[in-house]
Amino acid sequence: MTHVGLIRHGSTLWNKAGRVQGLTDNPLDEDGRREAKLLGQWLSSQQWDRIYASDLIRARETAEIIAGELGIKDIQVDPRLREMNAGQIEGTTEEERRSKWGLEWNKLELGLEAPDQGMERGSAVITEIADKHAGERILIVSHGVLLHHSLRKLVPGLADKMNLSNTAFTLLVRDNGNWVCSLYNGTEHLGRKKTSL
């Protein structure tokens, strides 16, 4: 069995402002660094063999903090794990989008990466990593929207439950080519109630 821990990066100032980040390369804020450290400490009671991360700084920085807590020396960066392209809505809030494009802005062609494209890209790279390191315990630090859509394919019906919180931990097990989720959107390390299935 291969264990894959999926992690959404820690919080950023744009997260707090409700701005769509997409490919904008924002760093973590102080809360995001603290969240990543708490998650690393929580994970340190378990054995993890390696960490992969998106190449965007908010994910890489989250991975670096966690790796430091776990004593893992190398982080393997993969640009296929980066967030989905948000096109023209990148950097905007819901209020700004409604003001600029109207209440039905989400029905317009604004250059966003299609959900199914993100689903295929994300699920393919997660599966590839798991198969490459079969039998290991692997952490993957990525982004909320990409992970949400990836999970739609890996574990159908799971991602309908709720959006992933910053530094949320989702545990998948791959066995004989099948994916099973034993923890979704876990935020126990932040002192929040455990969300198990």
- The number of helix segments (H) and strand segments (E) in the chain equals 6, 6
Marked catalytic residue, from 3, 9, 148, 149: 9
Instruction: Tell me whether residue 174 is annotated as binding.
Output: no
Q: Is 101 annotated as a binding residue?
A: no
Instruction: Point out the catalytic residue in the list 83, 113, 148, 149.
Output: 83
Q: How far is it, in rounded angstroms, from Cα 148 to Cα 66? A: 21
Q: Per the annotation, does 42 bind a ligand? A: no
Q: Annotated binding residue at 148? A: no
Q: Is 83 a catalytic residue?
A: yes
Backbone torsions φ then ψ of 152, nearest 5 degrees: -55, -35
Nearest residue to 165 via CA among 150, 147, 178: 147
Q: Edge-to-edge strands of the sheet including 75-77?
A: 75-77, 50-53, 137-142, 2-8, 169-175, 178-186
96 a catalytic residue: no
92 annotated to bind ligand: no
Question: 8 φ, ψ to 5°?
Answer: -80, 140
Cα distance between residue 140 and residue 143, in whole Å: 10
195 is in an annotated binding site: no
14 is in an annotated binding site: yes
Q: In the numeric block, which tokens belong to residue 104?
A: 């039905």
Q: 163 among the known binding-site residues?
A: no
Please indicate if the annotation marks 127 as binding a ligand. no
| Binding-site residues from annotation | 8-15, 58
| Binding-site residues from annotation for substrate | 8-15, 58
Question: Catalytic residues, which ones?
Answer: 9, 83
